[in-house]
Homo-oligomer: A and B are copies of this chain.
Amino acid sequence: MSAEISAFPKRPARDPAPDEAGEDRLVLDDYLPYRLSVASNAVSRLIARAYEDRFGLTIPQWRLIAVLAEDGAMTPGAAVARTVLDKVTISRAAQALVKRRLVARVAHEGDGRSHRLSLTEAGLRLHAEIAPLALAYEAALLSGLAPGEVAAVKALLKRLEAAAVRLSGEPAAD
Binding site for B on A (CB under 8 A): 2, 5-6, 8, 10, 19, 21-28, 30-47, 49-50, 53, 59, 63, 66-67, 69-73, 82-84, 104, 106-107, 109, 118-121, 123-124, 131, 134-135, 137-145, 147, 149-154, 156-161, 163-165, 167-168, 172
A158 to chain B, nearest CB (A): 7
Majority secondary structure, A binding face: helix
Chain A to chain B contacts (Cβ below 8 Å), 10 pairs: A6-B124, A8-B124, A10-B71, A21-B151, A28-B82, A40-B40, A142-B160, A142-B163, A145-B156, A153-B157
In the assembly, what is the distance between CA of A44 and CA of B152, in Å?
22
In the complex, the answer to whether B163 meets A144 with C-beta atoms within 8 Å is yes
On whether the beta carbons of B31 and A138 are closer than 8 Å, the reply is yes
> Are A141 and B167 in contact, with the CB atoms below 8 A?
yes
Q: Which 5 A-B pairs have the closest CB atoms?
A: A40-B40, A21-B147, A42-B164, A39-B161, A5-B104
